Structure formats: C-alpha cells, structure tokens
Amino acid sequence: MITHSVLATLDPDGPLDDLEPLADIVGDARVVAVGEGAHFVAEFTLARARVTRFLAERCGFRVLAMEFGFGDGFGMDEWLRGAPGELADHCGLLGVGVAGEYLRWLRRYNTGSAALRFAGVDIPTSTEVHRDLEPVARLLRQVDPEALPWVTAAQEVGRRFTGGSVAVSAQRWARLPRAEQDTLTTALSRLELRMRALESLYAERSDQAAVQRVSWTLRGVRHMDHMFQALHGLFTGTGLPGDTSVRDRFMADSLRWHLERAAPHERFVLVAHNSHIQKAPVSYDGTVAALPMGFFAGRELGADYRAVAVTHTAARVPEMHYPDASSPVGFTVSMVDLPEPSPGSVERLLVDAGLADRVTLTDLRGVSGVDSMWAQSARTVLPVAEAFDAVLSTPTATQDATIPF
C-alpha cells in the first residue's frame, strides 16, 4: 500500500510537524539527498529549504553538501556563516540563477542556533580554469616551485575559452586547436599525479589539511577538463555513452572526502538534481547514458544513503533552451507546456489519488510499478522506487523570478 502524506505548506519558516513521516523514511541514514526535477523552479527551492530545516532541527543534520564546486565550497561556507561579500563572488552568474534563493535562505537560516556547515562536492562552479588553479599555484610556490610551469601552461589555455557556464566553455573549448586542448589535459594530469605522489612531502612543507584540500580541488579541475570534452561530444553526437558519469563519480568521491573528515556522528543533507541523486542508472531508450552520484553513493553507503526526489503535478514548467549565443550562460529559460502525466508515472499516481492540487510526501519503500517521472520537461523512464526512497511533489512549478539572465 502506498502512503501519501499531505503537507500543510511550502513555507520554509512554517511549522514542521507535517514532515514527521520523513523522519521514519530517513531512519538512521547518515546522508539524505534532496533533489529537484527541474532547475529554476521557485516551489522546489521552498521545498528543499523546508526539508533542510526539518532534517537540521528534528533529525540533527549539521552539514549541507551540494551540487556546487568542491574548491568553491570553502568560501561559500564562510559566506553562508555571515562573511561579507556578494553571493555572485562565490558562485558566478549561473550559480546565482540555479541556487541563489536557496543559498540566500541558508545564509539567513545560519544566523540561528542550528547553523549548517557547507560542503561543495562538484567540479568547479566557475568553469574558469585559470581562476580555479590559483589555489594550486599558491601552494606550489611554497612547496614545489619547479612544478609551476605546468600550472602556468594550463592557466594560459584556460583563459582562452572561459565562459559563463560549462555549456559556453565547452563550445569555446571545442574551437581551440587540438594542440592547446592536449596541453591543458597533459598539464592537469601531470600536476595531479605529481601532487598525489608527493603529498606527504608537501605536507611537511605546508599544512596537511591545506594540501589535501588543494589536491582535491586540482582533481576537480581535471575532471572539469574531461567534461568539456564529454559535453562537446554530447552536443555533437560524437561522444560515448557514459562519458558524463565522470562528473558524478567525482561528486560521489567528493562526498566521501567530506564524510571521512567529519565526525562519525555528523549527518549530511545532500542537495542536487534528481538525476544526480537517483540510485538507478540514467537510461534513454533502454541504453545506460550515465551512472549518477546516487548510484555510487547507494552502493557504497548502503542504508546510510537515502534519496528524496522532488517533482510536481503542474501543467507547465521552466525549461532551458540551448543554445543561445545572446545569453551569458549559453541558454535561456522560459515556461513550457507539458502533456498529461503518463500512465505509470509518479505524477499520474498522485493525480489518480486525487492529490494533484496538494503538496505531498510519498513513501516509495516497497512500492512497485512506478516507472517514470518528469525530468525538466521530458519524461524519464526509470524504476522510481529503486531510484528514490520518497518523493515530495508540489502542485505548481513556476519560474524563479530572481534568475539574473
């Protein structure tokens, strides 16, 4: 039997009692992922903030990990705890558009007694290779100046294709001469291998924690270089199935990096798109297209990982339109119409239960036969109850009015 709980509100600052069924779903899991079925949806931001607050105040979660650059996350953590400066200084224009309202809410929330520490788990947020390598250059000046020419070579290439998003940068990367693409990949690979091999020596000359952090930041930049190639292949139809899994593998490994350095009792809220947190592979027409972060986390953490999808039962949703050369991020966002939810989808399940106009939390444990859900404006086919432990649904999906592009 499927259990639906009707939630009273999306107000992040409202009472939390109606979310108590979530505590049973979460159990003792150390990591609870909270998704979103589409970017730029105002209701999803409210839902995530409310669930975050519930997990912090009712379940004792103290760390907020996010689909956000690993290296960028340390500065964001300071900003979220009240450091001066502008949000865009830490996440760029695209980051403000995708997560700005949630991060602003979190900064306000962190003035209270249940403040959350922030941790980034993704490849660099900025896609500005030359800037992302600055921490590496600073460390190497101190511990290994002989390796600096490799940083300089990578930064020089990076300056030639930096864009406002990975989509823009990938297109500019593709126009570089092959020799420059290879220079970037070679420099980053050599730097990462050398830093990993000499980490203990670097730690003697500096601070071990700082060395480990910079080393992992460098690894993120190298994975970003792969993603330029992978996205170009995706856009042109020349890539290989599974190429984008490299990013999600890095995200799962970064989550583990933070878990290993946290106190054993510290519990993590993990915020990312549904397609990243799902425990089942991402497939199209029966072919595995990618293995998401949740696939790896589910296998490695077992019962310590729970995933809560966020979807909607609306007739319209914000969608990204690629490519758009006039946009600084390479795409525009506008509302698009949707067809009726497909039979077998989680959204149709809610419609048939008479709950399409309510905010709901559905316990998926033990459920079978639900085989699809919305992903942006498309229907994605997947074993929903294997991919997620629960799904929160909103009756509307309006475009975030604060998007700055």
Query: Residue 62's pLDDT is what?
Result: 98
Residues 6+ apart with CB under 8 A from 314: 338, 394, 395, 396, 397
Res. 77 pLDDT band, cuts 50 70 90? very high
Q: For residue 87, how many other CB atoms are within 10 A of its CB?
A: 17
Question: What pTM was computed for the model?
Answer: 0.97
Relative orientation angle of helices 293-301 and 245-261, to the nearest 10 degrees: 40
Residue 311 scores a pLDDT above 80: yes
Rounded CA separation 102/105 (Å): 5
Strand pairing partners for 274? none
Render pLDDT for 1-21 as a digit per residue (tens, 0 to 9).
Answer: 899 999 999 999 999 999 999
Rounded CA separation 206/209 (Å): 9
User: Cα(first)–Cα(last) distance of the chain, in Å?
Assistant: 45
Query: Residue 126's pLDDT is what?
Result: 75
Query: Residue 284's pLDDT is what?
Result: 85
Strand pairing partners for 4? 362
Contact 150, 213 (CB under 8 A): no
Contact 306, 297 (CB under 8 A): no
Res. 127 pLDDT band, cuts 50 70 90? confident
Q: Pick the range with the lowest mean pLDDT from 98-102, 156-160, 161-165, 317-321.
A: 161-165
Residue 43 scores a pLDDT above 90: yes
Look up residue 370 and give its two tokens. 């639900």
Res. 109 pLDDT band, cuts 50 70 90? very high
Render pLDDT for 220-273 as a digit per residue (tens, 0 to 9).
Answer: 999 999 999 999 898 888 999 999 999 999 999 999 999 999 999 999 999 999
CB-count exposure of residue 48 (10 Å: 0-12, 13-18, 19+): buried
Contact 276, 294 (CB under 8 A): yes
The proportion of the chain whose per-residue pLDDT surpasses 90, expressed as a percent, equals: 91
What is the pLDDT averaged over residues 263-289? 94
Q: Alpha carbon of 149 to those of 146, 155, 156, 197, 265: distances in Å?
A: 7, 10, 10, 18, 43
User: What is the full DSSP assignment across 339-367?
Assistant: -PPPTTBHHHHHHHTT-TTSEEEEE-TT-
Rounded CA separation 109/126 (Å): 25
Rounded CA separation 314/341 (Å): 9
